[in-house]
A = this chain, B = another copy of it.
Amino acid sequence: MEIIRNNFKDQLPKVYKAIEEADFMAIDGEFSGISDGPSVSTLTNGFDTPEERYQKLRKHSMDFLLFQFGLCTFSYDNTEARYLMKSFNFYIFPKPFNRNSTDKKFVCQSSSIDFLANQGFDFNKVFRNGIPYLNQEEERQLRDQYEEKRSQANGASSLSYISNAPKTPVNIPEEHKSFIDKIVESVEDLLESEEKRSLDLQPSTGYQRKLIYQTLNWKYQRGIHVETLENDKKERYIAIRKVDEEERKKIEQEKQAKEQEELDDAVGFSRIIHAISTSGKLVVGHNMLLDIMHTIHQFFCQLPDELNEFKEVTTCVFPRVLDTKLMATTNPFKEIVYNTSLGELEKRLKDPPFKPPKVDNAQGFPGYNTDSEQLHEAGYDAYITGLCFISMANYLGSFLSPPKTFVSSRSKIIRPFFNKLFLMRIMDIPYLNLEGPDLQPKRDNVLHVTFPKEWKTSDLYQLFSAFGNIQVSWIDDMSAFVSLCQPDQVQIAVNTSRYAESYKIQTYAEYIAKKNEENMA
């Protein structure tokens, strides 16, 4: 089901209900880009530490926009031994909410845009009809704005004014005094009059309105209601109505309700993420580190400086996540699944020893058909991520005694896969551990090499040709990690390089030590 700005409010209860009923959910995001660094490969070095990887993604990936969000909820139907699924495909765009809202900027990467364009992605839907959103800080600010306005209108003015300007009586600049006096006169007339109930002032500037509000708030704490309206010509003017206390309260309440609705509209898509978060349910994703980072960054808060804090925030926002890519690259799956890219994985998991999961569309929900792929639409990707999870979970049931054909998302047997996020292209650390410290491989067969810009991979092969098979992991165009087959050759390589001028070799340990030193300084 497609959710855009126009139908968001109407469909919201359906989404909430789906989340409420779900046993677990699958999510997926599409972004306007991946890396604003020189290239994606520098973003994913084979010997990054988890901390380094987090820092790179935080610095080089967060300026892109998460503009499509797929959510697929799965609830188990015991009587028919099948899952019922509801899938939602949200289009997201930070349409400025009002004159005061931040005018968000985001980066697009041509290759990512071109890739999505080739998949038939509908950019018009994003930009013309994407659902807006606010992070928690922006939501707080907007709420404060409303509250300030309200408190001003109610008379409890807290206007910022230079030095110690007296709050009452109002300090009216000389040249505005006669203007304000006339207005006070007309309000007196209104209050004394039997017939007249209301009074519309002439259009005025923001500054004039400020002076009027201050004056009227000070002079008439009760008895009138003052508000700013816009006429046909988009000019703003002040409208004054005589009200008794009852009426005044009612007006205020109506206004407050309307403001709450506006606030909700502005918070927009973030409400969905809040609902997923507070449900505390299992959230499944495929290679989901970037999805989680973008989701938190866009809808909750700026990403923290340190990896440890990021783990804490993630655990708050998503108490239980499972990465199907990590699952597929872990035993017992690792040995029987060769290609863990999402599309391939889904196909593989339809064949023995796996069983295609029994999943039907919930009533009233249009479904996806895995035969006619719609890969890279977020809703579809979330859907097949869910399928992959179900197949793999059920497969684990075959190891139980007695074997089970259905394993629920609450089963202990899948617990070891919780809260571990797949780390792409890191050779010796399979996952980011959200629940504690990360694995620390020795890397005693790894060298760090620095060299001139002109070098290519082949130059490195040539340089190390005496050491048999090597593996090159580029850091940037002037450095790379090179891993040798045998750790005992590392020292030999370092020694032979001692007098080289064009390049420099150090051990991984030396490199890390120097790096930490620099960070301390």
A105 near B109: Cβ-Cβ < 8 Å:
yes
Name the 5 nearest CB pairs between A and B, nearest first.
Answer: A173-B465, A123-B123, A117-B128, A160-B454, A103-B111
A293 at the interface (CB under 8 A from B): no
Cβ < 8 Å to B, chain A residues 289-335: none
Residues of A within 8 A of B (CB): 32-33, 36, 39, 65, 93-96, 103-111, 113-114, 116-117, 122-124, 126-128, 160-163, 165, 171, 173-175, 206-207, 210, 451, 454-459, 461-463, 465, 468-469, 502-503
- Cα distance A220–B363 in the bound complex, in angstroms: 71
Residues of B within 8 A of A503 (CB): 162
B94 near A110: Cβ-Cβ < 8 Å:
yes
A459 near B93: Cβ-Cβ < 8 Å:
no
Residues of B within 8 A of A171 (CB): 462
Tell me how far the C-beta of A219 lies from the nearest C-beta in chain B, rounded to whole angstroms. Answer: 19
Tell me how far the C-beta of A421 lies from the nearest C-beta in chain B, rounded to whole angstroms. Answer: 26
Residues of B within 8 A of A468 (CB): 175
Tell me how far the C-beta of A164 lies from the nearest C-beta in chain B, rounded to whole angstroms. Answer: 11
Copies in the complex: 2
Tell me how far the C-beta of A206 lies from the nearest C-beta in chain B, rounded to whole angstroms. Answer: 8
- Cα distance A161–B113 in the bound complex, in angstroms: 36
Can you report 27 residue pairs joining A to B where beta carbons are below 8 Å apart? A32-B108, A33-B105, A39-B103, A65-B108, A94-B110, A95-B114, A96-B111, A96-B114, A105-B108, A105-B109, A106-B107, A106-B110, A116-B127, A123-B123, A123-B124, A123-B127, A160-B454, A160-B459, A161-B459, A162-B451, A162-B455, A162-B462, A163-B502, A174-B465, A175-B465, A206-B457, A210-B458
Q: A128-B117, A162-B455, A207-B461 are in contact. Are A107 and B110 (CB under 8 A)?
A: no
With CB as the reference atom, state the residue of chain B lying closest to A458: B207
Residues of B within 8 A of A109 (CB): 103-105
Tell me how far the C-beta of A122 lies from the nearest C-beta in chain B, rounded to whole angstroms. Answer: 7
Q: A160-B459, A207-B458 are in contact. Are A127 and B113 (CB under 8 A)?
A: yes
Residues of B within 8 A of A33 (CB): 105
With CB as the reference atom, state the residue of chain B lying closest to A165: B462
- Cα distance A462–B503 in the bound complex, in angstroms: 66
Q: A160-B455, A457-B207 are in contact. Are A173 and B462 (CB under 8 A)?
A: yes
A117 near B110: Cβ-Cβ < 8 Å:
no
- Cα distance A114–B94 in the bound complex, in angstroms: 9
- Cα distance A462–B456 in the bound complex, in angstroms: 67
- Cα distance A468–B123 in the bound complex, in angstroms: 52
Residues of B within 8 A of A103 (CB): 39, 109-111
With CB as the reference atom, state the residue of chain B lying closest to A116: B127
